[in-house]
Structure 1
């Protein structure tokens, strides 16, 4: 362990409780609940223990990714994930870590009379806390990306439900832009439901699709082909006049694929194909 780190460790050992108290006072807010304050106290204590243990093991702040710092890195990762899940920003999270500097600077000034030693210790501490804040922000960004990806996946699943309309008849109401990711999701979900229910006809309703271009049409054709390979037939419903004109203008060939203007018309066609006749009760 170098001498500046020894000075920082000595101050932390002697004044840990006071440093933690001043740190929490600088980071607390009047709007915080008691539960939030207790959680912050636990986070601060865990981080202080991680710093102390790493310095006792002779860790160098310049090599923050080394093994002795692993416990502290885990504490910072836990802090970032907790703050990200609660909706805090990356700036708020890093500010909490950076606030650790002030009480440590004050304690070093009180405990060190040699200006040169104090300057080296302050620099050593600054490097350490900056690395801690950088690690916190990096983990926070990764956590937010994971949350966003999970939310996008959930939205995809919610926006592509497969509904059983009748015995042997499934429907997929499409809403929003149809891209490669959604097409793959629709295809996998629909084919799985065909296997589970033994359905022989699937209705793809595109009433909620704002526009149809060549790429969207290709996605639809791929889905229809996959359905046919499973031994089922497909009907596309919700083709509005504007979409019909666009399909004709683009020269997209939908021959051999049944299409209807509305989902009701598609369901009526499916029932007729299965020998059902719908009559109005007297």
Structure 2
């Protein structure tokens, strides 16, 4: 009997037994893989049967079309489902064990060395294409996650910039209006952005308007004071405006010293003070 005939008979033997034997494969895969155990049997069993069938088609009919289409496709699907590489190695191993057990039932002594080699090559090709589809999908998913992370980071940067707008008023004068709650993290960002803007624009005066800040705690008050001192170190004077009654009480209770920082009742007063220091006046 020719090699092709024996392998065709083996492929037919495995296919005909699949309705009964695939349950054994299903249990084996789900018992050894938590990822595959989460897939409903009604969904997993047909997929396993199709995987075995495509292997049979390759070694029995010498047709690689079905396996080339199915193996990468199901590998990609498993990656998108979040299965791990360990899960994939389990299914590869269990399918190989299943096929070899079927070969034993068929009668391994009926096959020549060349038959066995072609049989094993078909299983290996399925495994290779399955893992190839899985790895390509994982690479694509990881790239997508990186793109999303970069997009989120860019959006967060935009939000930070919008929440901390540094506006040039006149040459050498900047205004920083603060709105909303300020925590230590945001206060640190405010300091960083303000010092960068002072250096880039060679500003002499910065008007820090906290009218829209509802509350200031010890950490934030200290950050604002440090920001003012840091600004002075690089040659800029800070004018603090918009201190409400509650914040004024907080600053006094906390014992925060504002030496070296000029105070204005509101933004208009701060602008007038800054202009006078620059030799300008509003008429």
Instruction: Calculate the TM-score normalised by the size of structure 1.
Output: 0.54
What secondary structure does 1:255 align onto? Answer: coil
**Partner residue, 1:60:** 89
Deviation string 1:129-188 (CA, Å, 9 cap, x unpaired) is xxxxxxxxxx6xx88776655433331121001100111100111122222322232222
Structure 1 residues 77 and 272, CA gap change in structure 2 (3 angstroms): same
**Partner residue, 1:241:** 245
Whether 1:252 aligns to 2:256 is yes
Structure 1 residues 45 and 187, CA gap change in structure 2 (3 angstroms): farther
Residue 174 of structure 1 contacts residue 205 of structure 1 at CA under 8 Å; is this kept in 2? yes
Whether 1:72 aligns to 2:134 is yes
Total equivalences in the alignment: 186
**Coordinate RMSD, CA, aligned:** 3.9
Segments of structure 2 that go 5 or more residues without pairing to the other structure are 1-23, 30-47, 58-64, 79-87, 94-127
Larger radius of gyration: 2
What secondary structure does 1:226 align onto? Answer: helix
**Partner residue, 2:53:** 11
Structure 1 residues 155 and 242, CA gap change in structure 2 (3 angstroms): same
**Partner residue, 1:202:** 206
CA distance in 2, matches of 1:45, 1:173: 59
CA distance in 1, matches of 2:219, 2:91: 51
Deviation string 1:187-224 (CA, Å, 9 cap, x unpaired) is 22222222222110111111111101211101101111
**Partner residue, 2:168:** 164
Residue 47 of structure 1 contacts residue 75 of structure 1 at CA under 8 Å; is this kept in 2? no
**Partner residue, 1:182:** 186
Displacement of 1:62 in angstroms is: 6.5
CA distance in 2, matches of 1:226, 1:161: 19
Which piece of structure 1 moves more, 205-214 or 148-157? Answer: 148-157
Displacement of 1:47 in angstroms is: 4.0
Residue 227 of structure 1 contacts residue 234 of structure 1 at CA under 8 Å; is this kept in 2? yes
CA distance in 1, matches of 2:151, 2:278: 45
CA distance in 1, matches of 2:240, 2:72: 59
CA distance in 2, matches of 1:155, 1:249: 33
Residue 46 of structure 1 contacts residue 75 of structure 1 at CA under 8 Å; is this kept in 2? no
Residue 47 of structure 1 contacts residue 76 of structure 1 at CA under 8 Å; is this kept in 2? no
**Partner residue, 2:222:** 218
- Which of 153, 158, 164 matches 2:157? 153
Which piece of structure 1 moves more, 182-191 or 159-168? Answer: 182-191
Structure 1 residues 179 and 72, CA gap change in structure 2 (3 angstroms): same
Residue 178 of structure 2 contacts residue 211 of structure 2 at CA under 8 Å; is this kept in 1? yes
Residue 174 of structure 1 contacts residue 207 of structure 1 at CA under 8 Å; is this kept in 2? yes
**Partner residue, 1:48:** 74
Structure 1 residues 171 and 12, CA gap change in structure 2 (3 angstroms): farther
**Structure 1 stretches (4+) deviating beyond 6 angstroms?**
142-146
Structure 1 residues 273 and 46, CA gap change in structure 2 (3 angstroms): farther
Structure in which a larger fraction of residues adopt helix: 2
